[in-house]
Structure 1
Amino acid sequence: MKPSHWLSTLIGPFTPDAGLLFARVTGALLVLHVHGLPKLLHFSDELAHIDDPLHMGRALTLYCALFAELVCPVLVAVGLLTRLAALPFLFLLLVSMFLVHPDWSIADGQFGWLLIIVFGTIAVSGAGKYSVDAHWRS
């Protein structure tokens, strides 16, 4: 039995759509766990310490970050308005990498750059067939 045959029997077909589903769900869960939920659970502390690189005010900056790190990852995970939902998080990451942490080397910011790659791929590719977006199109 070829390895690809028994693996696909065990865990399903290896397709670009399955890869997009994996990237969407795991990327979104990572963002929720590492960024979104801690900001929500420690809102007051975050408000006192958040950088405000666009000079919108700390409260508005935090609300925008919460939208990008809570609401948008949930939409990306389920594949609802996926390309659009990836954009606020990408914007937040780019602001963080270029304005908040411009002194970081690529190694220092590798987590952020990897998230830019994952969410950028999702923004370019869309959600794939295992998504609410695909269900609505059919």
Structure 2
Amino acid sequence: MGSVRLDLGLLFLRLGGAGLLLAVHGLPKALHFRQQLGLIEDPLHLGAWPTLGFAVFAEVLCPLLIALGWATRLACLPILGLLLIALLVVHPEWSLEQGQFGWLLLVLFGTLALTGPGRYSLEARLVRRHAAQGGFARALS
């Protein structure tokens, strides 16, 4: 029973975190890309387009992968990088209260990077399917 609760917790964490990041940050940037080009901070001096492109990648594509549970640990890394840059470089003057959403997302995606997606994920399903097919093929030989 404990394993089921843990996997349900990881599913809730994946869907909740991915949904929040996508809705609050990702979709507004993607849907208003041209407008956002004039607003985006460029702390690494890469240019507005590459900076915004990376932000959209980290805040749209990565949360979708995480919600599905596909390449979850890998998909957390761009998000973690983006959050650290935002909190430590772009907004170092923010108090803990002002940056609490970013810090909470950092904890959430850091946890998923450490744990992986859990049993209720596309990754786990494909691993189970592959193992079942391998087991079946061995039984035939």
Q: Could you tell me how far apart the structure 2 residues matched to 1:94 and 1:132 are?
A: 28
Which entry has the higher C-alpha Rg, 1 or 2?
Answer: 2
Amino acid at match of 1:43: F
Q: How does 1:4-83 map to 2 (within 5 A)?
A: 15-83=5-73
How far has the Cα of 1:83 moved from its partner? 0.2
TM-fit CA distance, 1:14: 5.8
1:115 is matched with 105
Gaps of 5+ in 1: 1-7
Residue aligned with 1:106, SS: coil
d(CA) in 2 for partners of 1:131 and 1:17?
9
CA distance in 2, matches of 1:90, 1:24: 14
Query: What is the CA–CA distance in structure 2 between the aligned matches of 1:15 and 1:86, rounded to whole Å?
Result: 22
- What is the TM-score when the length of structure 1 is the normalising length? 0.89
Structure 2 counterpart of 1:91, from 81, 101, 105: 81
Task: Tell me the distance in 1 between the aligned counterparts of 2:116 and 2:96.
Answer: 27
Which structure 2 residue ranges, 5 or more long, are not aligned? Answer: 129-141
Helix, strand or coil: the match of 1:111?
helix
Match of 1:124 among 114, 117, 140: 114
Q: Percentage identity across aligned positions?
A: 54
Distance in 2 of aligned mates of 1:126 and 1:54: 29
Tell me the C-alpha RMSD between the 2 structures.
1.4
| 1:128 Cα deviation from its structure 2 partner | 0.2
Which stretches of structure 1, 4 residues or more, deviate above 3 A after TM superposition? none
> How many residues are treated as equivalent by the alignment?
127
